[in-house]
Amino acid sequence: MVWTMENVEPPVTSTQNTPPTARAVARPKPSFKERFQTLLTEYGPLALVVHYAIFFLSMGVFALLIRSGFQVESAAGSASTWGGAYIASQVIKIPRLAATFALTPLVARLIRRLRKKGPDSP
């Protein structure tokens, strides 16, 4: 028997026409708008309630901090307190949105748990 290169080496197949596997294809990260739409679709109005609750809580805390640091006695001073609180709340918009994404599923889980433990439950 005569050994040739054909018998020794495995056959080589071209991979140019083969489709990539699922792992080889990297999915692009969804945009913020797509993730927010998914959050709203999944949790509905609860996501908006959590978002605005965090917003008004931050506004109140900033107004309290501004007010405790300054002696404001006029209506214009009060308006500037709330204006400053609004601006400070807008500065922390990204952490507020991150908190909305993190807290909404937890609040939904808590609400479901409390509904199961209603007054009719043993």
Angle between helices 45-69 and 93-116 (to 10 degrees): 120
Domain residue extents for the chain: 30-74+92-117
Angle between helices 93-116 and 75-91 (to 10 degrees): 80
The rounded distance, in Å, linking the Cα atoms of 122 and 119 is 8
pLDDT of residue 30: 82
Q: What is the pLDDT of residues 14-25, one digit of tens each?
A: 556 655 565 556
Q: What is the pLDDT of residues 44-96, one digit of tens each?
A: 889 889 999 999 999 999 999 888 885 555 555 667 888 888 998 999 999 99
pTM tops 0.95, yes or no: no
